[in-house]
Amino acid sequence: NAGVTQTPKFQVLKTGQSMTLQCAQDMNHEYMSWYRQDPGMGLRLIHYSVGAGITDQGEVPNGYNVSRSTTEDFPLRLLSAAPSQTSVYFCASSPQGAGGYGYTFGSGTRLTVV
Amino acid sequence: RKEVEQDPGPFNVPEGATVAFNCTYSNSASQSFFWYRQDCRKEPKLLMSVYSSGNEDGRFTAQLNRASQYISLLIRDSKLSDSATYLCVVKNGPNAGGTSYGKLTFGQGTILTVHP
Q: For A34-84, how does the pLDDT look when each residue is reduced to its tens digit (9 = 90+)? A: 999 998 778 999 999 988 999 999 989 999 999 999 999 999 999 999 999
List CB contacts (< 8 A) between B94 and chain A: 97-98
**A1 or B22: which leads in pLDDT:** B22
Nearest residue, CB atoms, A99 vs list B32, B105, B107:
B32
Q: How far is CA A100 from the centre of its chain?
A: 22
Nearest residue, CB atoms, B43 vs list A50, A90, A99:
A90
List CB contacts (< 8 A) between B49 and chain A: 100, 102
Kindly report the average pLDDT of chain A as a whole number. Answer: 92
Count of CB atoms situated within 10 Å of the CB of A31: 24
pLDDT at B52: 85
What band does B99 get if pLDDT is binned at 50, 70 and 90?
low
Flag whether residue A87 sits within 8 Å of chain B, measured between CB atoms.
Answer: no
pLDDT at B61: 97
The rounded distance, in Å, linking the Cα atoms of A104 and B81 is 21
pLDDT at A13: 97
**A83 or B100: which leads in pLDDT:** A83
pLDDT at A73: 97
**Alpha-carbon distance A82 to nearest alpha carbon in chain B (angstroms):** 22
pLDDT at B20: 96
Distances (CA, A) of B57 to A46, A74, B47, B54, B73: 32, 33, 9, 10, 11
Residue B106 reports pLDDT greater than 60? yes
**Alpha-carbon distance A2 to nearest alpha carbon in chain B (angstroms):** 15
Amino acid identity, position B73: L
| Among candidate residues A30, A47, A48, the one with its CA nearest the CA of residue A96 | A30
Per-residue pLDDT tens over the stretch B64-91: 999 999 999 999 999 999 999 999 999 8
The rounded distance, in Å, linking the Cα atoms of B78 and A28 is 36
Contact between A8 and A110 under an 8 Å Cβ cutoff? The reply is no
Contact between A33 and A98 under an 8 Å Cβ cutoff? The reply is no
**Alpha-carbon distance B101 to nearest alpha carbon in chain A (angstroms):** 6
How many alpha carbons fall within 13 Å on the CB side of residue A20?
9
Kindly report the average pLDDT of chain B as a whole number. Answer: 90
Peptide bond into B94 cis (omega under 30): no
SS3 (DSSP) at B44: coil
The rounded distance, in Å, linking the Cα atoms of A36 and B93 is 23
Flag whether residue A39 sits within 8 Å of chain B, measured between CB atoms.
Answer: no
Residues A92-101 have a mean pLDDT of 75
What band does B93 get if pLDDT is binned at 50, 70 and 90?
confident
pLDDT at A25: 97
Contacts across the A-B interface (CB distance below 8 Å): 65
Decide if B46 and A102 are in contact by the 8 Å CB cutoff.
yes
The rounded distance, in Å, linking the Cα atoms of A71 and A21 is 16
The rounded distance, in Å, linking the Cα atoms of B114 and B17 is 9
Residues B16-29 have a mean pLDDT of 92
pLDDT at A2: 77
Contact between B24 and B13 under an 8 Å Cβ cutoff? The reply is no
Residues B43-63 have a mean pLDDT of 93
**Alpha-carbon distance B33 to nearest alpha carbon in chain A (angstroms):** 7
Distances (CA, A) of A41 to A17, B96, B107: 25, 24, 9
**A92 or B102: which leads in pLDDT:** A92
